[in-house]
Every structure is written in structure tokens, then in C-alpha cells.
Amino acid sequence: MKSLLSFISLLALALANPVFAAAEHDSHHPAGSGAASVKAAASEGTVKKIDKAAGKITIKHGPLANLGMPP
């Protein structure tokens, strides 16, 4: 009787496994951007100085509207 109960339990688990594997897995992927994307504003500037030792670049630029920075 004990072996029959074990066999039925094992059979039920084996048959239930494909049901769980067939479930949708949409939560594993990021949501699509769709039509809600916004184009970033481009800015113009000129490189004035490069300081390799300090890891800095000096740029003369116009207004950076997307950052709220004046020239």
C-alpha cells in the first residue's frame, strides 16, 4: 500500500510539471517602450581643453535645455 501511494504521488508530480513549465513568463522580460519614447534634445559645444592627468575636459557650450543649464 505504501509503495502504491508513493507511486501515485510521484506520478502526479511528474504529470503536473509540464503544466507549471507552460505558464507565461512575461515577468522575466522588461516592458516594451512602445510609443512613449521621447527624443533627447541635442546640444552643441566646442572642446577647449583636455587635462588627461586630472581626467577633465573643458567644453564651451550653448544652453543645455534637457539639463536646465544656461550657456
Across 39-65, average pLDDT:
88
Which tens digit of pLDDT belongs to each residue from 15-44?
877 777 766 666 666 666 555 566 767 888
Q: How far is CA 3 from CA 8, 10, 12, 28, 61, in A?
A: 9, 10, 14, 39, 80
CA 42, CA 64: separation in Å to the nearest integer? 8
The pLDDT value recorded for residue 47 is 94
